[in-house]
Amino acid sequence: MKKVFLFILLSFPILTFHAQTKNELAVQTAVNKLIAGMISGDRSALESVSSSQLSYGHSGGLVEGRAEFVEKIASGKSDFVTIDISEQTIEIVENTAIVRHSFNATTNDGGKPVVVKLKILLIFQLEKGSWKLLARQAVKMESTQSNTKQPIVLLDAYYNNEIKKDSLGNDIRWHYAWEELSNGGFSMLGKQFEKKGAQLKTSITAPTVMSLSKASVYLIVDPDNSKDSPTPNYMNTADASIISDWVKAGGVLILLANDSANCDLTHFNILAEKFGIQFTNESVNMVKGNAFEMGSAFPVQENGVLTYGTKIFVKDVSALQLKMDAKVIAMSGDKTIAAIAAYGKGQVIAVGDPWLYNEYVDGKKLSADYQNFEAMGQIVNWVISKAF
């Protein structure tokens, strides 16, 4: 019964990321596994991520061992419906990791809904190549109000959820992730948002009204097709309605697709077409080797986002078709490759390619006449200006 209840009502965790080392990523994976196990009540998951010597301290003073901790959650006596962690830091000293974060959750113990707000200290220990939870202590969080709005830029990791093994054999997310420093990462884009005062978060589950209500900006990039994942999470009508309602209320949505061979355009268009934008199966700027001129594109005049005359490089792009009030912002020849649309109180920006990943904004690969880094800054400025 618990699994069915969770599927219907759960608001999944949103995780905050920064540029991380390999060990920090492994610890982050262990934290994610712990949080997921606490929500699902999965006994084996909780046992696998915790040390046999676990000391689990509650904010009220109760301290449990591993058996008590696991049994209380697996039996449903302690029933977490949602968990949202933020302000997380990870510090590693030899074989010990110190994790601190804010912990906001809703529980349903005994059928009584309760909101829980805690500060958490987790101690992980490296045991036979895996990080295990050795100790945990919680303290109650004082209620505080901030007078300064810090916009949250929420990166989807549900529709794009590519997984690979790290050096320790653990599953980690990769490809268009905030914390990813390699060519395919979004670490440089994330830094641009942070310089504008934004907070970066990642959503590992389908959007909900509650999860989107906390975000000013929602970025969906390169949704998985069957080549990327054996069980891709496809966009659907219900999810598209939740997202479009959020945009209508004032959210800023960023849609970054890919060419048709490398992206699920069919389901992605369920969402995009609500704003008069369609990602087509026509692929343009199909660059061969280092023939970078094949990937040239240019902003149109008075587009409101990109500076006219900026030369950008965009390769293997899905051309866009526009309807309603959607407007072109950049073209390659006579093909639209980027557009914006106003929708209610919100805004949408769409590009037929992931485009803003590290490889093509770090200035190392392209010749100096390409201005992808500058264009990235212009887009970030536009997005943040619309998020307030």
Please check whether residues 186 and 325 belong to one and the same domain. yes
The 3-class secondary structure across 178-246, one letter per residue, is: CCCCCCCCCHHHHHHHHHCCCEEEEECCCCCHHHHHCCCEEEEECCCCCCCCCCCCCCCHHHHHHHHHH
Spatial CB neighbours of 180, under 8 Å, sequence gap ≥ 6: 174, 186, 187, 358
The enclosing domain of 298 has a CATH number of: 3.40.50.880
Domain count, the chain: 2
Residue after which a domain boundary falls, among 93, 119, 140: 140
Q: Residue 283 gets which letter from DSSP?
A: E
Q: What is the pLDDT of residue 150?
A: 79
Instruction: Kindly report which listed range (10-14, 99-103, 363-367) carries the lowest average pLDDT score.
Output: 10-14
For the CA atoms of 155, 329, 279, 154, the dihedral, rounded to the nearest 10 degrees, stands at 10
Please check whether residues 253 and 191 belong to one and the same domain. yes
Residue after which a domain boundary falls, among 140, 170, 196: 140
Instruction: Kindly report which listed range (5-14, 29-38, 146-155, 354-363) carries the lowest average pLDDT score.
Output: 5-14
**Position 2 pLDDT exceeds 50:** no
**Position 163 pLDDT exceeds 90:** no
Q: Residue 143 gets which letter from DSSP?
A: P
Across residues 90-97, what is the average pLDDT?
92
The enclosing domain of 81 has a CATH number of: 3.10.450.50
Domain assignment present for 93:
yes
Q: In whole angstroms, what is the distance from residue 337 CA to residue 303 CA?
A: 13
**Position 88 pLDDT exceeds 80:** yes
- Please answer whether residues 82 and 53 qualify as being in contact, where contact means their C-beta atoms are separated by less than 8 angstroms: no
- Domain around 61: 2-140
Q: How confident is the model at residue 20 (pLDDT cuts 50, 70, 90)?
A: low
Domain assignment present for 147:
no
Nearest of 236, 233, 193 to residue 217 by alpha carbon: 193
Task: Give the pTM.
Answer: 0.63
